[in-house]
Amino acid sequence: MEGRLPVTVTAAPAPWPWRARTLTLLALPPLLVGAAVLAVGTGAVGIAPGQVLSILLAPLGVPPLQTYEPQQAAVLWAIRLPRVVLGLLVGAGLGAAGAAMQGLFRNPLADPGLLGISSGASLAAAASVVLGFQAFGPYSLPLAAFTGALLATALISLLAQERGRVQVATMLLAGIAVNALCGAGTGLMTFLATDDQLRSLTFWNLGSLGGATWPTVLSALPPLAVGVLGLPLAARALNAFMLGETGAAHLGLPVQGVKWLIVSLVALGVGAGVAVAGTIGFVGLVVPHLLRLLTGPNHRTLLPASALLGATLLVLADLLSRTVVVPAELPLGIVTALLGAPFFLFLLRPGRQGAGL
């Protein structure tokens, strides 16, 4: 059942060069903080790092480290900070989801986009926009996207069922078919949209954090937090899956239940991310690859590291998207594709496969 598609079988977690792993894990948190400070301070209204800290600490009664203008504080709290926080959440969700899917399917090409989860979320979100679904206020779009992601996941799993067991290879093929089906549905919604809806759908499909507000952040926070914090709890199970489903079962793992749990957590995080930021590719594909080279295949470190690096990369990509063609804004999905595709091709060069790809 596991030999119908070329599947990369990775060895069980082995000791990895501690220096590269330790340096990487130590570097990721300050890198994330630095990217966030740089992003909130860069734009039409410049805010120095000292001013950023002063503005953030002001509500706690801390004396300002550096003087700042009220306009800078207003821009940071109302525009920059919700956008950066949303980028951190979505990037962390995509990075962790990509690492989990690659570990679950033992395939370096497996990511939520390939399995149709992102497409299902996109179709449901597009339908909610075109049909005017607003029953749950600001939570309507995230709820619709999560429902779409979950329905796509359930359909893929049902198609992959064989005598009560989910076949991983069949699930990949079903994901490709569902991907195409949901893409056609999204195209139909685009055809039916009004001019205003069409403009919104087009920019939303290309990916953007431009609509970030605090209500948007709060609507996406619960599902993204559950996904990002829940997936590392499945690290031991994902390590067991590296031995194959039979090996994992021999270790006492309830294989079918764990599969459903991991896929549901991925659907939760990806659905919420697609709802608030549109379709953003390559983060969930490239980030786990890069970190696997630096930290090894152990999911206990790979999953949290992927969340940290995914968040950092998405914040920096968003910073590029809103600064390279001022006063216009380049769609975020285009930036991640332009950065991620060449890097992924670099990783696929002959001789790199032995490093865990």
pLDDT, tens digit (0-9, with 9 covering 90-100), for 27-37: 999 999 999 99
CA-to-CA distance for 212 and 257, rounded, in angstroms? 36
Distance of CA 265 to the CA centre of its chain: 12
Instruction: Quote the pLDDT of residue 4.
Output: 44
Among 59, 24, 53, residue whose Cα is nearest residue 38: 53
What 44-50 contacts at long range (C-beta under 8 Å, 24+ apart), as own/partner pairs, is 44/326, 45/71, 45/72, 45/75, 47/72, 47/75, 47/76, 47/80
Tens of pLDDT along 41-76? 998 888 999 999 899 988 888 888 888 899 999 999
**DSSP secondary structure letter of residue 327:** T
Place of tokens 């690492």: 99
The SS3 assignment for 277 reads helix
What mean pLDDT comes out for the span 330-351? 79
Q: Average pLDDT, whole number, for the chain? A: 83
Question: Could you tell me what percentage of the chain is helix, strand and coil, using 3-state DSSP and rounding each to the nearest 5?
Answer: 70, 0, 25
Report the percentage of the chain scoring pLDDT > 70.
90
Find tokens 């597009």 and name the residue. 126
| For residue 26, pLDDT beyond 80 | yes
The pLDDT score that the predictor gives to residue 11 is: 45
User: Which amino acid is located at 331 in the chain?
Assistant: P
| Omega within 30 of 0 (cis) for the link into 327 | yes
DSSP labels, 141-165: HHHHHHHHHHHHHHHHHHHTEETTE
Q: What does the alpha-carbon distance between residue 314 and residue 295 come to, in Å, rounded to a whole number?
A: 20
Least confident of 58-72, 129-143, 287-301: 129-143
Read off the pLDDT of each residue in 107-116 and give the average, rounded to a whole number.
Answer: 74
pLDDT tens, residue by residue, 229-276: 999 999 999 998 888 777 888 888 888 788 888 888 888 888 888 888
In tens, the pLDDT along 118-130 reads 888 888 888 888 8
